[in-house]
Structure 1
């Protein structure tokens, strides 16, 4: 496990982040703007003394004198957890940055922000190195009341992708989440459980043993400070974090109204690919998956190779290649159309790319995410464009 002495962030800065991450219920635009402007230590001092704008003062008023960053750090240490913050070698900036763009779209309404922004730190309970673990990751989520079919497919996909070197991210809950975690544990792979409450309080209690095993071989993670209990909206906030930490999200089984659909919606909003496992048309447990495929352009996945292609570098499959090509010839039709629709200079919004390529907006966002991961596309201030000077060379397995 990485100790505090191995990290480059000063102790007072880490304590400040611990305070800032708990002083408001969610990370807000006003809070992050203050941190960016004056730094975390000064931001914490200003909040404690009430020297902040009215909106931030309202957001932090009930907790500003109650939160103690040093005490939170001590509570985390008692269970072998640590706080990973911006500036740490293990801070997953690339995964979390999309949660923070653009801030002004997140604001509005009497209560402050409509949706939470990127966390100010991650409470990390486990031996796994954050950057190495999240370098190749896929989120696997689904219903808490799966069928035997859903459990079997989850176990097959989760163990299959971990054998291909992927970390499986899920929510630690009963059902599909637990099936995914247990399959990876059984295969000797790496898995991360993202909790809706503090990492010192495993939830649900019935999964204590499993979550302890996850912490020993991978990590149990939360944006919530130690001592924090679970609530419905914290589960929704957890879903966004699951989507951010996975390079793709796969929904195995989900009802028409399901937390797994929330995770899929966040993945799409973050330009991450979404895959769904088809089920029997008579199964209530698969209705949500079928709706995602029909209305949101989610990709059908039925085997490990499908998930590897969805979450891996563009063109990567689980099947050994027989040869290599560096042209566009190996691209599927949709990927080729989206890539060709991207300008070489300037930039275009995803909706403009979708209109030019003639592809659904949700599919376009998923493809753009894969192109970004492969280095074939760039997202800049003006929008999306092709990388380089247009002569993109992609390494693609040839059947």
Structure 2
């Protein structure tokens, strides 16, 4: 069946749901009309019937150390059923782990093929951090963001899943042959196409729906307005999955698509913990970002007003400070004497001066 129809063929998917695989195949072989199938489409299926050898396909995938997984198998990820009639007929899987188990705690990290150094850096570090937190990184093994995501997960010994648009035994892109081998050794290589099948533009587009359905959430790291990664993200949103985007420079065309997703309702994320907060279990919350606490932040309003009344590079009298702070002279003097041992101000006779480090925002640590 995976050789009869193209990925995402909802017509054949409907037939399989109504009739089952064996009955569908028999009716195609007998000829004649099929309910809900146009004559031209039925003819297209029958043209592909000639020369099919499922036993040979199974032998080829086994020789590659893989297997065929279909709905009803214990390894089948049931979340793919959300695709309805467009769910995969089956998946050709290479690698040791269970696809169903890996997909339970997984996140898709996708983006532009022609990524920038920024996108490559962010994707790699995000994937590595996700893997460190026990999450499986899913992507499409393409150049750019996909490759960076796979490498990031592998770099820390994490598992990763590549959903490809070609058949087993046809590494694509060729430049990722070694990466695909490493993915197979430490994770899974998954595709809808039978062994030996070549990728096409349409097959890449349909591959994206599998990535979207397989994972609880999809993160777009960097994508232009016409990027295929946006197709994945929007399909994920339509399936009720979490959709996230990493912000980039507003002047970068390669971040335009990611920013557009945020405007559409995707969640802006900048680190792995924020992704896990959305996709993980109850209680897996991202810790709040903490900025460095400066000694000046600990001062009260009166002390802050006195400091702000002191010029950065001039010495002034207490009366001038009081006038600038809008305080009485007694309160001003008391506050100046409190700030003196803390290293915020210096006194020279009857005049006071702000310590230069304070003026630059780097006050001494108070005792």
Q: Same fold judged by TM-score > 0.5?
A: yes
Determine if contact 1:96/1:244 at 8 Å carries over to the other structure: yes
187-196 or 144-153: bigger deviation: 144-153
Matches within 5 A, 1:107-256: 117-256=86-225
Matches within 5 A, 1:249-398: 249-294=218-263, 296-317=264-285, 319=287
Compute the displacement of 1:244 (Å). Answer: 1.0
Q: Deviations over 1:285-334 (max 9, x none)?
A: 1111111111x1111001111110122134423559xxxxxxxxxxxxxx
Distance 2:257 2:8 in 1: 29
The equivalent residue for 1:338 is: none
The equivalent residue for 1:41 is: 22
Q: Deviations over 1:230-260 (max 9, x none)?
A: 1111000011111111110000000111011
SS in 2 for 1:144: coil
The equivalent residue for 1:70 is: 55
The equivalent residue for 2:295 is: none
1:50 aligns with 2:35: no
Compute the displacement of 1:36 (Å). Answer: 2.8
Structure 1: unaligned runs, 5 residues or longer: 1-19, 104-116, 321-399
Determine if contact 1:139/1:168 at 8 Å carries over to the other structure: yes
Q: Deviations over 1:48-75 (max 9, x none)?
A: 3325505252341220223222121122
The equivalent residue for 2:314 is: none
Q: Deviations over 1:175-219 (max 9, x none)?
A: 110100011111111100011110211100100001100001100
* Counterpart selection for 1:60 from 45, 52, 56: 45
Distance 1:318 1:131 in 2: 26
Q: 1:314 to 1:60 in 2, by over 3 A?
A: farther
Structure 1: which 4+ aligned runs deviate by more than 6 Å?
A: none
Determine if contact 2:7/2:192 at 8 Å carries over to the other structure: no
Distance 2:278 2:196 in 1: 37
| TM-score under structure 2 length normalisation | 0.74
The equivalent residue for 2:347 is: none
Structure 2: unaligned runs, 5 residues or longer: 289-367
Determine if contact 1:198/1:227 at 8 Å carries over to the other structure: yes
SS in 1 for 2:131: helix
Compute the displacement of 1:45 (Å). Answer: 2.4
Distance 1:187 1:208 in 2: 20
Give the length in aligned residue pairs.
284
Compute the displacement of 1:34 (Å). Answer: 2.9
Structure with higher Rg: it is: 2
Matches within 5 A, 1:6-25: 20-25=1-6
SS in 2 for 1:160: helix
Distance 2:77 2:11 in 1: 22
Distance 1:314 1:284 in 2: 36
| TM-score under structure 1 length normalisation | 0.68
Compute the displacement of 1:39 (Å). Answer: 2.6
Distance 2:144 2:281 in 1: 29
Distance 2:99 2:158 in 1: 15
Q: Deviations over 1:250-281 (max 9, x none)?
A: 00000111011111111111111110000111
RMSD: 1.7
